[in-house]
C-alpha cells in the first residue's frame, strides 16, 4: 500500500523547498508515496459537511438544530477543534484556524496516512500531536515523515523494491 500524505498548505509552493519536502516530492515522482496538499483538492468524493459536524452546515433532521458537543475521541470538526484550540469556541475561530481544522478533517476522512506540517504551534506542541494520534491522525514534520517512512519501508530510502 502506498502511503498517502497530506502536506500542510504552502509546503510545496515555497520558493525554496525544504530538503525533506524535496525528498518527499522525489518519492512521489517514483510512485513510492502519494502527496495531497491540504488546501488543494484532488478528486474528492462528495461528502456531506453536516455528517462531520461542520459549523454552519445544513442538517436534514429537525432534531439536529440544537448544537451538540461531539463525543470525546470523535473525529468531527468540533472534536478536532477541541484538540487544536482547546480554549476556543468552534464558532469563533479565525478563518486560518477553521482552515487548520478543516484540513485535518479532510485528511482523516480521505483515509490518508500522515499529515505533514511545519506548524508545530497549531498541530504538535502541548500534547496536540498525541491527542490527534488518539483520533488516528498522525502529524509529523517533513523530517519526521522521512524517518517514519524509511522505518516503515526501508526500500523507500534505497530505491529497492521487495
* Nearest by Cα to 145 from 48, 6, 29: 6
Pairing status of strand 4-7 against strand 34-37: parallel
Domain that holds residue 100: 4-41+49-158
Q: For residue range 32-90, what is the model confidence (pLDDT) as tens digits?
A: 999 999 876 554 444 444 445 555 544 444 343 333 444 555 589 999 999 999 999 98
Which strands form 4-7's sheet, in the order they lie side by side? 34-37, 4-7, 114-116, 138-140
User: How many degrees, rounded to 5, is the angle at CA 133 between CA 99 and CA 89?
Assistant: 40
What's the total number of domains in the chain? 1
pTM of the predicted protein model: 0.77
Please give the mean pLDDT across all residues of the chain: 82
Confidence bin at 122 (pLDDT 50/70/90): very high
Residue 34 neighbours by CB distance under 10 Å:
15
Amino acid at each position: 500500500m502506498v502511503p498517502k500524505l497530506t502536506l500542510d498548505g504552502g509546503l510545496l509552493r515555497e520558493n525554496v523547498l525544504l530538503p525533506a519536502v524535496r525528498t518527499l516530492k522525489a518519492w512521489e515522482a517514483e510512485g513510492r508515496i502519494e502527496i495531497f496538499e491540504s488546501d488543494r483538492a484532488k478528486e474528492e468524493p462528495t461528502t456531506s459537511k453536516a455528517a462531520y459536524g461542520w459549523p454552519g452546515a445544513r442538517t436534514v433532521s429537525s432534531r439536529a438544530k440544537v448544537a451538540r458537543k461531539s463525543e470525546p475521541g470523535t473525529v468531527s470538526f468540533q472534536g478536532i477543534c477541541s484538540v487544536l484550540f482547546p480554549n476556543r469556541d468552534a464558532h469563533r475561530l479565525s478563518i486560518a484556524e477553521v482552515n487548520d481544522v478543516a484540513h485535518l478533517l479532510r485528511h482523516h476522512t480521505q483515509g490518508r496516512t500522515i499529515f505533514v506540517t511545519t506548524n508545530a504551534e497549531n498541530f504538535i506542541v502541548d500534547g496536540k500531536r498525541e491527542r490527534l494520534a488518539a483520533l488516528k491522525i498522525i502529524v509529523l514534520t517533513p523530517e519526521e515523515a522521512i524517518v517514519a517512512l524509511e522505518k516503515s519501508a526501508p526500500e523507500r530510502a534505497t530505491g529497492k523494491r521487495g
